[in-house]
Chain A
Amino acid sequence: MHPLRHPRNAIFVGLMFSLIGVVYWFVQYRADFHADIAGVTLLLLLGVAVSIMAYVLIAGSPND
């Protein structure tokens, strides 16, 4: 059995990038910096892309 057990759990790998995006935005917001909206958007959607990628890699691997 693969350590991630189920392909859906691989999505958490991608969600880490989205979490980094949220933290990136929150730090700028709290510190009253000029918000890098483009960077936040890319990080959030990078999380989505990596989620799909991780899902594909795990789901595409045989169970043995």
Chain B
Amino acid sequence: MATDSHALTPQDHSPVAGLAHDERGGISNVVLGMLLFITSEVMFFAGLFAAYFNVRANAPQWPPINAETGEAFHLEILPLVGPATVLLILSSFTCQFAVWAIRRGDRTAFLRNIGVTFAIGVTFLIMQGIDYTILYSEGVTLGSGTFGTTYFTLTGFHGAHVFGGAIMLGVVLYRGLAGQFSARHHDAVEAVSLYWHFVDVVWILLFSLLYLLPGKSPAGV
């Protein structure tokens, strides 16, 4: 016998329920899970940041001397890392535009923006790969003392998260092209956008620490 048990009510949980613009309360399982995952990721990166600060604070000078070249390590913002940073920040905007588009049911704008976000994510990874290659050729490796270890651990784990985010974006793009997602059902889009914003924020922190924070001269110099 047919029932109306699946009829939507104002109390139904939607992907955005619980967020500021939705007064219905509750939150979808997908978004809930992603937020809890991000919570654990915050502490994961907190551990890495803490290790970096600890190493940096206990070093006589920062950046330290590269034993191979006899000069202090130096990281270049241009030509790769700066533009890659701008691109990643830009991708957060396109990702959010995609979310807003699917919320109002504009599938064309959603697909365009999620496609651009995916492309930028892949581009960022390629640029990071090229940057790693250049650093290795200059003698900055994972084995370059505490500097190389902390630099490649921090940026490498972040890169792994961008890789994971790009896969998620790829899946969302594929599902979108297959005709899935609507103004009513787009939990995955909301969840992936939250993750992508998180990855973006982590990179801004990383970039500020590794490239913008002034170094430390040896005592007495």
Contacts and interface: CB of A to CB of B under 8 A. Distances in A.
Q: Please determine whether chains A and B interact with each other in the same assembly.
A: yes
Nearest to A52: B39
B46 A46 contact: yes
Contacts of A35: 57
Centre residue among A38, A61, A64 by max chain B CB count within 10 A: A38
A39 B76 CA distance: 30
B35 A55 contact: yes
Contacts of A64: 11, 25
Contacts of B43: 42, 45-46, 49
Contacts of B25: 61-64
A11 to B, nearest CB: 12
B50 A37 contact: yes
A42 B47 contact: yes
Given A37-B54, A37-B57, A61-B25, A56 B39 contact: yes
The main secondary structure of chain A at its interface with chain B is: helix
Interface range on chain B: under 10, 10 to 19, 20 to 34, or 35 or more? Answer: 20 to 34
A48 B42 contact: yes
A38 B54 contact: yes
Interface string B10-33: 010000011110001111000010
Interface of B: 11, 17-20, 24-27, 32, 35-36, 38-40, 42-43, 45-47, 49-51, 53-54, 56-57
Contacts of B47: 42
Contacts of A56: 27, 32, 35-36, 39
Interface residues of A, number: 24
Contacts of B51: 38
A45 B49 contact: yes
B50 A60 contact: no
Interface of A: 7-8, 35, 37-42, 44-46, 48-49, 52-53, 55-56, 59-64
Nearest to A49: B42
A46 B50 CA distance: 12
Contacts of A49: 39-40, 42-43, 46
Contacts of A45: 42-43, 45-46, 49
A40 B50 CA distance: 8
Contacts of B49: 41, 45
Centre residue among B26, B40, B46, B49 by max chain A CB count within 10 A: B46
A49 B25 CA distance: 22
